[in-house]
Structure 1
């Protein structure tokens, strides 16, 4: 049986998208590659919305 976590936030597909893009940004994957992976088309929007999520 899987162990329970202490995560309280309701997870949605959008939550996982944010996390995925944030991890890619933290690991210095170049932005055009990130955008291609997630189907984003506006670089400025991608930077503004997704790269602020983590402290790194």
Structure 2
């Protein structure tokens, strides 16, 4: 992960969960339905996805 970040302009500490949360936010903004998002990210409980 650190090696990849060295080739970007990302200044904050980036971890896999940050990218997962960003992905979920972008899917939501794109109008993807909750069931599809949950399936993509492996959440079984809607509450987990909704927290993000």
TM-score range, shorter chain: 0.7 to 0.9
Q: In the alignment, which residue of structure 2 is the partner of 1:40?
A: 43
Deviation at 1:32? 0.3
Give the helix-richer structure, 1 or 2: 2
TM-score normalised to the size of structure 2? 0.76
Partner of 2:3: none
Q: How do 1:10-49 residues align onto structure 2 when only pairs under 5 Å count?
A: 10-48=13-51
With normalisation by structure 1, the TM-score equals: 0.72
Q: Deviation above 3 Å: which 4+ runs of structure 1? A: none
Structure 1 residues without counterparts, runs of 5 or longer? 51-56
Whole-angstrom CA distance in 2 between matches of 1:17 and 1:4: 18
Larger RCO (CA under 8 A, 6+ residues apart): 1
Q: How many residues in Structure 1 have an aligned counterpart in Structure 2?
A: 46
